[in-house]
C-alpha cells in the first residue's frame, strides 16, 4: 500500500476514542496557544493585516467563516488564508521537531473555518487537529532534514497536507477522496525560506491553510488528482527532498505527533530561543549590567545560524530572525515578547551599541535547535559562561505544566482585543473543548 493511501486511511479511521489522553490535552493546548497568537497577530500586526484585508475585500465571497477581530464573515478560502497569515505573523506559534516547522498555523485556521461552517463539536475539532498534525509531521519525518536544508519552508509545504487532512476529517471524506485531496494539496505545496523576515513568511502559513482547505473541497466534489503524490517518481518526496523515507508511514499515533509539539515562550524564531534562554539564565544568576559588557560570543548550531542569522536587523520582523538582536533584547529587557519588537527598539542607539559587541558563531558539535553557549567578558575583565539545551528541557514539560503558561500567554494576547471577561471565557471554553457541542460558541466571541 502506498504511503499516500496509508496516511489517508489513518485520517479516515481516526476517532476521538482512539486518541490518547496526552494527545487530547496537547491538541487543546495547540488550539489555545494558536488562538492567542492569531489574535495577537491581528493587533500587533494591524498595519500588515489591514492591508491584506483591504486588498482582498473586493474579492470576498459568501459570509461563511469569521475573520477574527474584524466583525465580519467571509468565504471559507479567504478566512483560512487571512486567519492563517495572522497566526504566523508574530512567529510566536508552536513548533514540532520532526516537521522542522510550525504545525498549528496551517491546520487550525483551516479547521476553524470549515468547522464553523459545519458547526462541528469540540471533539470533532480535536480529531481534525490531531489528524492534521499527524499528517504534516509524518511527511516531515519522511523528507527532513534534507527538505528544510534545501531551502523549503516546511510550515508551508508540509502545512498544505496538514490543513487538507484536518478539513478532510471534518467533512468525513472517504479514503479515495482523501487520497485525491492529498494529491491536490501536494501539487500546490510551496514556500521558500528566502522569505524569512518578511510578510511572505506568515503568508506561507495562510496559503497552506487555504490551499489545504481548497484541496479537500475540490476532492470532495470529484476533482481528480495523483494517487501517489508522496511516493511517486515525480511526487513530493522525490522532488522536495534528496531522500524520501517511506518507512515513516507505519504505526500512526504511536505516539501521536501532536504529543511532540513544543510551545513558544518568546516571540521570535525558535532558533533564537536557545540563545535567549541562555542569556536569561545569565541575567537571573549574575545580574550583569549590559552597559558594562565588553564582548559577548554566542555559539549556536549551523542550523540555528542559517535560520536566524540576520546580523543587522532593521525591522521588527528581521529582529525575530536575528540571534544577535534577540540575545541583546534578553539582556537589556529580561523578556523577549511582542512589545519589544518595534522599529524604535530595533534601531535604538543602545540596542545597536550592544549588538555591536555580540558575535554569533557556529559549532558543528552543537546538535541543532535549542543548543546554545554564551561567553561574556565584562569591562572589568571578569567572565561569565553559560550553556543550554533548550529542547531537552522543554520536552520534559508536561501538558499540565504547559497549561498555566499558555493560558497566561493567551490571556495577554487576547486582552489586546477583548475584555477580561471575554478572554477568560474563550480560554475556559477551549480547555473544555471536548464538551463543546458547537465550536461557534468559541468562535463568535472572537469576531
Contacts for 381 with CB less than 8 Å, ≥ 6 apart: none
Cα 420 to its chain centre, rounded Å, is: 26
Residue 369 has pLDDT above 90, yes or no: no
Q: What is the pTM of this model?
A: 0.95
Read off the pLDDT band of 391 (50, 70, 90).
Answer: confident
Cα 218 from Cα 180, distance rounded (Å): 9
How far, in Å, CA of 83 to CA of 66, rounded? 9
Please determine, for residue 368, whether its predicted confidence score (pLDDT) is greater than 80.
no
pLDDT at 303: 87
242 secondary structure, DSSP code = S
Q: Which residue has the higher pLDDT, 294 or 366?
A: 294
pLDDT at 289: 87
* Rounded Cα distance, 196 and 206, in Å: 15
Q: What is the secondary structure of 120-170 as a DSSP string? A: --HHHHHHHHHHHHHHHHHHHHHHTTHHHHTTB-HHHHHHHHHHHHHHHHH
Residue 370 reports pLDDT greater than 90 = no
Assign 290 a pLDDT band (cuts: 50, 70, 90): confident
Structural domain boundaries in the chain: 3-263+417-446, 270-390
- Which is the CATH superfamily of the domain at 3-263+417-446? 2-methylcitrate dehydratase PrpD (1.10.4100.10)
Q: How confident is the model at residue 252 (pLDDT cuts 50, 70, 90)?
A: very high
Residue 392 confidence (pLDDT): 87
Over residues 71-95, the pLDDT tens digits come to 999 999 999 999 999 999 999 999 9
List Cβ neighbours of 183 (8 Å cut-off, separation of 6 or more).
4, 215, 219, 225, 226, 227, 229
CATH topology for 270-390? 60s Ribosomal Protein L30; Chain: A; (3.30.1330)
108-138 pLDDT, tens digit per residue, is 999 999 999 999 999 999 999 999 999 999 9
In this model, does residue 341 exceed pLDDT 90?
A: yes
Average pLDDT value over all residues in the chain: 96
Amino acid at each position: 500500500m502506498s504511503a499516500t493511501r496509508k496516511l489517508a486511511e489513518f485520517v479516515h479511521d481516526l476517532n476521538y476514542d482512539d486518541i490518547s489522553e496526552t494527545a487530547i490535552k496537547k491538541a487543546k493546548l495547540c488550539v489555545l496557544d494558536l488562538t492567542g497568537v492569531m489574535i495577537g497577530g491581528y493587533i500587533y500586526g494591524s498595519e500588515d493585516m489591514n492591508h491584506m484585508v483591504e486588498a482582498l475585500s473586493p474579492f470576498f465571497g459568501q459570509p461563511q467563516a469569521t475573520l477574527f477581530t474584524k466583525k465580519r464573515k467571509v468565504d471559507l478560502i479567504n478566512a483560512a488564508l487571512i486567519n492563517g497569515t495572522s497566526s504566523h505573523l508574530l512567529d510566536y506559534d508552536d513548533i514540532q521537531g520532526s516537521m522542522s516547522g510550525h504545525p498549528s498555523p496551517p491546520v487550525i485556521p483551516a479547521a476553524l473555518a470549515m468547522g464553523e461552517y459545519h458547526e462541528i463539536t469540540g471533539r470533532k475539532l480535536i480529531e481534525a487537529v490531531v489528524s492534521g498534525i499527524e499528517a504534516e509531521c509524518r511527511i516531515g519525518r519522511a523528507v527532513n532534514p534534507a527538505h528544510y536544508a534545501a531551502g523549503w519552508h516546511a510550515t508551508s509545504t508540509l502545512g498544505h497536507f496538514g490543513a487538507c487532512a484536518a478539513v478532510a476529517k471534518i467533512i468525513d471524506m472517504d479514503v479515495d477522496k482523501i487520497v485525491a485531496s492529498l494529491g491536490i494539496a501536494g501539487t500546490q505545496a510551496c514556500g521558500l525560506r528566502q522569505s524569512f523576515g518578511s510578510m511572505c513568511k506568515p503568508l506561507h502559513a495562510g496559503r497552506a491553510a487555504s490551499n489545504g482547505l481548497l484541496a479537500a473541497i475540490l476532492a470532495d466534489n470529484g476533482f481528480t488528482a495523483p494517487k501517489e503524490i508522496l511516493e511517486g517518481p515525480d511526487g513530493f518526496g522525490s522532488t522536495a527532498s534528496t531522500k524520501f523515507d517511506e518507512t515513516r508511514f507505519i504505526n500512526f499515533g504511536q505516539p501521536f505527533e501532536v504529543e511532540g509539539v513544543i510551545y513558544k515562550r518568546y516571540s521570535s524564531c525558535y532558533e533564537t530561543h536557545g540563545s535567549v534562554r541562555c542569556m536569561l539564565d545569565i541575567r537571573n544568576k549574575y545580574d550583569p549590567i549590559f552597559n558594562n559588557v565588553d564582548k559577548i560570543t554566542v555559539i549556536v548550531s549551523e542550523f540555528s545560524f542559517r535560520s536566524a542569522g540576520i546580523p543587522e536587523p532593521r525591522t521588527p520582523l528581521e529582529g525575530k530572525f536575528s540571534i544577535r538582536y534577540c540575545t541583546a533584547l534578553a539582556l537589556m529587557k529580561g523578556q523577549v515578547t511582542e512589545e519589544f519588537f518595534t522599529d524604535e527598539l530595533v534601531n535604538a542607539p543602545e540596542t545597536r551599541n550592544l549588538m555591536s559587541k555580540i558575535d554569533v558563531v557556529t559549532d558543528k558539535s552543537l546538535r541543532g535547535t535549542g543548543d546554545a553557549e554564551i561567553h561574556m567578558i565584562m569591562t572589568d575583565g571578569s567572565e561569565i559562561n553559560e550553556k543550554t539545551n533548550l529542547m531537552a528541557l522543554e520536552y520534559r514539560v508536561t501538558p499540565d505544566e504547559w497549561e498555566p503558561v499558555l493560558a497566561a500567554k493567551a490571556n495577554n494576547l487576547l486582552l489586546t482585543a477583548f475584555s477580561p471577561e471575554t478572554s477568560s471565557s474563550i480560554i475556559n471554553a477551549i480547555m473544555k473543548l471536548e464538551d463543546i457541542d458547537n465550536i461557534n460558541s468559541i468562535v463568535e466571541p472572537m469576531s
